[in-house]
Amino acid sequence: MTSTWNARYRLAGTPRTSLAELPDGQLARVVGRTAQLDEVLEAPLTGRRCLYYQLTVAQPVLFLSETLAHEERSVLFTLDDGTARAIIDPSQCILDGRDTSASYMPTDRESALLTRLGIEPKLVTQRYKGARHVRLDRRFIYRESIIGVGETIAILGSGVREPDPDAPPEAAYRGTQPTRLRMSGGRNQPMIISDDPSTTR
């Protein structure tokens, strides 16, 4: 699996192309500002409005960590680079995004999240041999990365043109059917999405 560092390096090293000039099926780097299309999501850990999130809950184990749950959700959104607007489907992507990480006793929101994910926030153990069992608080590491609404991002991917139902009616009278670009990834070639400044230049 491609690491986020390798994904960022590959994205930053690909020449930038405008959405208006991107041919069907050509892999390229595009940079633009995100906007809500229909739905918007709420990130489960921080409550931020977003278009895609990935969440991991882990448990510290010595100097490592054990993943207890991983969750991803996405909705279609638009990307505008000033030359055109594209529809983005991030359901198959590698996200290189800034995330939040913490290791402490659960807040109310985190406790609700643990309950929804079926993770027990207490640990049954023994203090001394022969003593009664007691329930101790467990420690967790939370990681949440998102694509935010109104965020500038870079995408490495390809797309296809489709009829644009939102084009002004008068555009159809010019003799060509207005189109828009739809970008999506696949299992063998997921899109790479990043908000790192090295990729959005």
Rounded percentage of the chain residues whose pLDDT exceeds 70:
85
pLDDT value for 1: 43
What's the rounded mean pLDDT across residues 3-14? 87
**Residue with structure tokens 């990729």?**
199
Q: What is the DSSP code (8-state) at residue 169?
A: G
pLDDT above 90: residue 123: no
Instruction: Give the pLDDT confidence of 14-23 residue by residue, as tens digits.
Output: 999 999 999 9
Q: Check: pTM over 0.85? Answer yes or no.
A: no
pLDDT value for 132: 60
- Binned at pLDDT 50, 70 and 90, residue 105 comes out as low
Q: For residue 181, give the 3-state DSSP assignment.
A: strand
d(CA 161, CA 182): 6
Q: Which two tokens stand for residue 46?
A: 């921080």
Neighbours of 160 (CB within 10 A): 12
d(CA 22, CA 84): 10
Instruction: Give the pLDDT confidence of 128-187 residue by residue, as tens digits.
Output: 555 566 666 678 888 999 999 999 999 999 999 988 877 776 555 566 677 889 999 988
Q: For residue 91, give the 3-state DSSP assignment.
A: coil
Consecutive H or E run containing 7: helix 4-12
